[in-house]
Amino acid sequence: MIEIKELPIDGAKLFSIRVFTDIRGAFEVFWERDLLSPQSISFSPTNANHSYNTHTGTLRGMHFQKSPHGQTKLVSCVSGKAWDVMVDLRDDSSTFGKWHATKLSAASGQAVLIPAGCGHGFVTLEPNTTIAYLIEGQYMPDQGRVLRWNDPTVAINWPVKDPVLSDKDAAAPDWDQCEF
């Protein structure tokens, strides 16, 4: 029922879950703890969020909470399509400073598990794209940080050149000035 693939960032995983379809549409199980327990994956979400995005090219990121207050996230696309990115900000990780992207789309049966200590962002590839998050770890606004989406040190190869950004994301610091 669930296939788990290791991604190139330490501890990151791609979940592929069977999607049930019929004349009514589709149904998928986004999260079920008992499916992951036998695979030694421990994830206990403490909150859930949706990000509603009207325009194609909306970019949110790269967001994280300063160590040791990182949050593990399970991210999926509820409507539309997005290019979802994580960057490893854990200085004790073998993939420190590396990034990885996954294209997510509605009813694909795919979700990305992003380890605590990684920055996260996405850009919408279609209008009216909704991203769903299950999050493990307390939200602490005073620990929230942002790394500039187009930081030259990380050099994420975004599929957009002129994204729709919040003021906060547009003013985010580069790698050398960022507080991890």
Question: Taking the model in full, what pTM does it have?
Answer: 0.93
139 is catalytic: no
Pick the catalytic residue: 55, 69, 120, 133? 133
100 is catalytic: no
* Burial class, 37, CB count within 10 angstroms (exposed 0-12 / middle 13-18 / buried 19+): exposed
* Residues 152-163: tens digit of each pLDDT: 999 999 999 999
* Residues 12-35: tens digit of each pLDDT: 999 998 899 999 988 888 777 776
Please tell me whether residue 38 adopts helix, strand or coil conformation. Answer: helix
* Burial class, 177, CB count within 10 angstroms (exposed 0-12 / middle 13-18 / buried 19+): exposed
Percent of the chain with pLDDT over 90: 83
pLDDT for the residue 37: 63
Q: Is the pLDDT of residue 38 over 70?
A: no
* Residues 43-73: tens digit of each pLDDT: 999 999 999 999 999 999 999 999 999 999 9
Average pLDDT of the residues in 71-97: 97
Cα 113 to Cα 96: distance, rounded to the nearest angstrom: 17
Average pLDDT of the residues in 105-112: 95
Pick the catalytic residue: 63, 69, 120, 139? 63
Please tell me whether residue 130 adopts helix, strand or coil conformation. Answer: strand
pLDDT for the residue 40: 72
Strands 59-65 and 118-124: antiparallel
